[in-house]
Chain A
């Protein structure tokens, strides 16, 4: 993960800011092997429980569905930034 900065300070700051109890982390394939490290850091620094998204992370257009039903408070998605959807591409 040394190639890319996971920006964990920002992640933890956001978790504390919104007082998230249940956090879903969505990682691009290249960062998935480091899910354990990220999970540990978050659970050490906050009281949040972490759910690791197993599926795809093609882009900011590819947000997991159904997290609200799981009562997830915060989704942290790595490898992308804000996506401005365009109707009809």
Chain B
């Protein structure tokens, strides 16, 4: 592959995309939303933790994990009966009653009952975050034993709560906006760059020039990468106080980028005109974004379906990375995204080879 040719195509596309009103709108929408929320809700950058009251006579692994969750502050209640009043008194998001033999029952596959209180006076965003976190923790218990990190949490909890993350609107919004950026690039920008060349017959010119099809596609992919880096970078800079772990956050974006650009190349190779791209882009974007929206008491089947979409894992990886979680909690999600990216890249290669 000739880098000079790829660079020429990328340079042309980067400039040309800004002049395309449709693409420009797609590119700046996440930035616009981020700025809008900063203007409308200037105080949202402060991180409120989710206070949760628990009664856990058996010192369960679940509660240990909750203590290890950067977004949560766990407070003990003396008895199960006191949970409701403690939740109200402490203005906590909710409460949890864990049976004494919870761990043993889980290990035996008995599915012990958990009683969960949710404070309805709290915002829907906080309630949603609470539900999601709790759900995530319970599932992780079944999948693999929780590691013991109690000492670490105790220190961190007292010394620097502000830096441990929270669930303010900004923090719920940032992963959504980052995935929206990736979605726009994958579902709209990359396919449009390819399809417009077909539709306007400029692809004929490119193919009669020294550029090979592989170089043309690489140029388009690189344009998508360049715009993602620019917009995601700006989003992170604007919301820098919300980034807990920069390295993991950037890694999550990078993995997501490979995935969405591959999706874009598949779409670009299969579709033939801009009308088709517009039609398909909306559907693909909805599917990609759906798992990243705060779940507001969705049916279990829908929640399960969301887990089939790779952006669910990307969203989880981003939320945990932004919250400053330990890498061990993020790797699993990133691994799923990476596998999906490899599959999508393979599909893109196959589609392009077939279409050429």
The finding on whether chains A and B are genuine partners in a shared complex, rather than unrelated, reads: no
